[in-house]
Structure 1
Amino acid sequence: MKDETQNFKLQSSDFQQFWSLDPSVTFLNHGSYGACPVPVRRAQQRFREQLERQPLRFFMREFEALLDASRRSLAAFVGAQPDELVFVPNATTGVNAVLRSLSFNSGDELLTTNQEYNACRNALDFIASRTGATVVIATIPFPLESPDQVIEAVIERVSAKTRLALLDHVTSKTGLIFPIQQLVHELAARGVDTLVDGAHAPGMVSLNLHEIGATYYTGNCHKWLCAPKGAGFLYVRGDRQSTIRPLTISHGANSPRTDKSRFQLEFDWMGTDDPTAYLCVPEAIEFLGSLLPGGWTQLMENNRAKALWARQVLCEALGVSPPCPDEMIGSMAVVPLPYELFGYEQAGQVREWPILQDLLCDRFNIEVPVIPWTTPFQQMVRISAQLYNTPEQYHTLAEALITLLSDLL
């Protein structure tokens, strides 16, 4: 543990220079919005200057080749073919594009879990309300002891009416890595298509979309890939591409071109905007992959080891147990908070503690999400681990939580 901590410390001090995060803030929330390194942002600025020097030339003569090059780089990184991918601003847009393109009827069942990301769950509810389909919820136990419990909970809710399963690859609230490949294969064996919300997966876990086998998969590049905000992707299996349309219908809908699929012609041009975030994906992949001798494999292993170490530090400080096995953790982890940190009973009344996330920020300059939950605990703190995070930052969080706890007691 000591040697590992020293290794984290040395690496973090080397890499903080590449991010422009406020040094006065203990930033342990990379998972929410990512953080784009300075060299990648410089690349984006060069693309923006290229665009503004001659906008017509850029969009009409240069953009498509640049986008195709970016797509090839991303496809190699996520284990797909370039013609299976299109760029979207974020994973939520990808989920909506798929759901809005498919047809459902009254009596159809749309399966998801109680840990599905709120925005995507809202999209599923919207589609159900419009079509008469029913949203079926698989309750994933938490805490849990094995990924098998996820599989059992999902498969138990499959019926002859199940048309589609919307599943997270990495859950936002609890940071769990679902056994997504096994889930997809189990569902496919029962005739159920899968739409995977992989918002957190690219850059956190090694991806091979062909091996996963999902019908649809969407992910973000701005989180753990560290591309600029506004870069995400949608993968659609070749036999389903003719069905999937973008949320914005534009020129591609009646393009006479035959050298590309309608799928790419429609998604690649939905109107004039700033596409430079997409074009920076190769720069982000190359830059992050150059920071450690072992490339992306070592980077993901490093972040995971740091997250597990930090989780143990916090659990020991707060006297709580890790709520899931190590194998289900990537570069995010949650730690249950003692009951006293959010309220206590006195004379039959419950006094609610002020919003803990704001308190940690305002009083201690710590930026970390506090996640509401149900029994057996009501709040959790979710930590992220990126190369720039230091061991001292997690100790700072532990000390702040202990201080708040002692204030109450």
Structure 2
Amino acid sequence: MQLTDSHELVLKNVPEFGHQSRSLFQLDPSFVHLNNGSFGVIPHFVEEATQRMAHVGETNPDLFMRTGRFWRSIDASREAIAKYVGADTDTCVFVPNTATGVNTILRSISWSAEDILVRSDICFDTVIRAVESLAQFKTAPRTAMLKLGLPATHATILENFRVQLKQWRAAMPEHAKLVIIIDSIASTPAVLLPWREMVKICKEEGAWSLVDAAHSLGQEKLELKKIDADFFVANCSKWFYAKRGSALMQIPFRHQEMMQPLIPAMVNDGPGHQIHPNKFVTQFYWNGLADWLAYMSIVPALNFRRQIGGDEKINTYCHALAVKGGLRVAEILGTEVLDSPKGDGELVANMANVRLPIDTSIPGPKVFQLFHTETLGTYRTYAVPYMFNGSWWVRACAQVYAEMADFERLGHVLVEVCRKINSTANDSHIVAFP
């Protein structure tokens, strides 16, 4: 890497995607990394660029924080991410993660007992807990579950979604709120849903849409102003290459008045005191001592993505590897991938789901502990195991630093790991993770 006259980092000799690209990331070369979806990966480029920003602030924190440099840095990130996702800048703010964004939105809505809040049957655990936590309030909505019926085609999912939405709407007063939490790319199972069309159906049926897009930023093209969901939250660290602790919360102007941060802003947002003309934006600048460097990593992450080839090149490579790699792992295991009944990769973005041949009579805690012990410790590779539709599955993530050999390695490792787990079917002993 080198610096331009404007102090912008520039990559020299960008390697081809695959194992040659490992050098771009802070990854242990002795480990096969196939779990980008949980924690993301930080390129050296982004780490160095953000540390240079940190140095500017740390040399004189008061000067940095009190003369506008901090706010301008956050604004530069907001402007960059807004342009990237096709949204108005002043509809975009940052929160630490998707769970914080979902909780912020749900707790900002003024609920009545006649309202209905819907989440899907593959909703991520932190979102489930966010929904359940509303029950502690004096006035809370009723809750319902969207049954996706996976595996299914996008067309079938949309047909069933509209039917269920109409049923909920018919069973509630006209003035009551119907709020649907929509997964864009779910976590486990890692499936790409027709979320844009689901948002459109919500509009047609008079429901609000809250899009949990934890995995979308960096995996798919976003045109948020055009899609116009009522609420949208996406992690910047999972697939976008920004530092952990950064997520985009995009709230259209029509809903901003209701929004309140979970921790009240320390900035006085009264007349003459707002940092930004938009009160909503001001409230999400500053709520106490925190490391805001993650938000400042947005611009370097965008710069890195551009220099290694751009979104289309990144996602074309990763999607093809996820589809082919998943099929190869399934072939080695003698099982199957989770996909649309059409078998065309419709449910796959950059993560593959492969069924594991694990005896389902074995207690879940034992499966998890043995799986982690063997994959992380013995075999030095990892992909996420989970239970779905009565079977064990594994989620394997494709990234620019991975290639088919990694998926083949995973497949052979899983053969041995599943064999060892199944051998304990009649053993009550639970192996502890070292």
| Fold agreement, TM-score > 0.5 | yes
Aligned residue in 2 for 1:284: 301
Pairing 1:132–2:140 present: yes
Q: Which sits farther off after the overlay, 357-366 or 177-186?
A: 357-366
Amino acid at match of 1:395: E
Does residue 121 in structure 1 map to residue 136 in structure 2?
no
Q: Is the CA contact 1:136–1:157 (under 8 Å) kept in the aligned structure 2?
A: no
Counterpart Cα distance in 1 of 2:290 and 2:142: 36
- 3-state DSSP class of the match of 1:141? coil
- 1:335 equivalent to 2:354? Answer yes
The 5-angstrom pairing of residues 339-350 of structure 1 reads 339-340=358-359
Alignment-mate amino acid for residue 132 of structure 2: D
Trace 1:164-175 onto structure 2 (pairs within 5 A).
164-175=179-190
Instruction: Give the SS at the match of 1:24.
Output: coil
CA contact (8 A) 2:358 2:418 kept: no
- SS where residue 355 of structure 1 aligns? helix
Q: Secondary structure at the match of 1:251?
A: coil
Alignment of 1:53 onto 2:59: yes
Specify the code of the residue in structure 2 equivalent to 1:387.
V
Q: How is 1:168-247 mapped onto 2 (pairs within 5 angstroms)?
A: 168-247=183-262
Question: How far did residue 352 of structure 1 move?
Answer: 6.0
Task: Supply the distance in 2 between the matched residues of 1:134 and 1:228 (Cα, whole angstroms).
Answer: 37
Distance across 2 between alignment mates of 1:398 and 1:100: 43
Contact 1:307 / 1:384 at 8 angstroms: preserved in 2?
yes
The answer to whether the Cα contact below 8 Å between 2:374 and 2:417 also exists between their aligned partners in 1 is: no
Which residues of 2 match residues 66-85 of structure 1 at below 5 A? 66-85=73-92
* Structure 1: 5+ residue stretches without partners: 1-8
- Give the C-alpha shift of residue 22 in structure 1: 0.9
How far is 1:253 from its partner?
5.0
**Which residue matches 1:64?**
71
- Partner letter of residue 115 of structure 1? I
Deviations 1:291-336 (A, max 9, x none): 12xx211111111111111111011112223221302211111111
Q: 2:31 aligns with which of 13, 21, 25?
A: 25
C-alpha spacing 1:234/1:352, structure 2 compared with 1 (3 Å): closer
1:179-221: CA deviation from partner (whole Å, max 9, x where unpaired): 1110001011111011111110000111111222201101111
Q: TM-score, normalised by structure 1?
A: 0.90
**Aligned residue type for 1:136:** A
The answer as to whether partners of 2:305 and 2:311 remain within 8 angstroms in 1 is: yes
Q: Which amino acid aligns with 2:109?
A: L
Deviation track 1:349-391 (CA, whole Å, cap 9, x = no partner) reads 999655323322222111211112232xx21010001111122
Using the alignment, how far apart are the partners of 2:366 and 2:55 within structure 1? Answer: 51
Q: More displaced, 267-276 or 146-155? A: 146-155
Whether the aligned pair in 1 keeps the contact of 2:210 and 2:232 (CA below 8 Å) is yes
> 2: distance between equivalents of 1:304 and 1:285?
20
Structure 2 residue aligned with 1:248, among 263, 270, 282? Answer: 263
Partner of 2:11: none
SS of the residue aligned with 2:122? coil
CA 1:84–1:132 in 2, change beyond 3 Å: closer, same or farther? closer
Query: What's the CA shift string for 1:121-162, capped at 9, x where partnerless?
Result: 1111111442332110012223x2301232234333322235
The answer to whether residue 93 in structure 2 is matched with residue 86 in structure 1 is yes
Instruction: Check if 1:357 corresponds to 2:372.
Output: yes
DSSP 3-state at the match of 1:334: strand
Is it true that 1:270 corresponds to 2:263 in the alignment?
no
Identity of aligned residues (%): 25
More helix by share: 1
Count of residue pairs the alignment pairs up: 391
SS state at 2:187 partner: coil
2:429 aligns with none
Distance 2:135 2:365 in 1: 38
Q: Distance in 2 between matches of 1:55 and 1:350?
A: 49
| TM-score normalized with structure 2 length | 0.85
Q: Is the 8 A contact 2:383 2:396 kept in 1?
A: yes
Work out whether 1:366 is the aligned partner of 2:366.
no
Q: For the Cα contact (< 8 Å) 1:92–1:119, is it kept in 2? A: yes
What stretches of structure 2 of length at least 5 have no aligned partner? 1-14, 424-434
Q: Say yes or no: does 1:382 pair with 2:389.
A: no
Q: 3-state SS of the aligned residue for 1:254?
A: coil
1 CA distance for matches of 2:419 and 2:206? 54
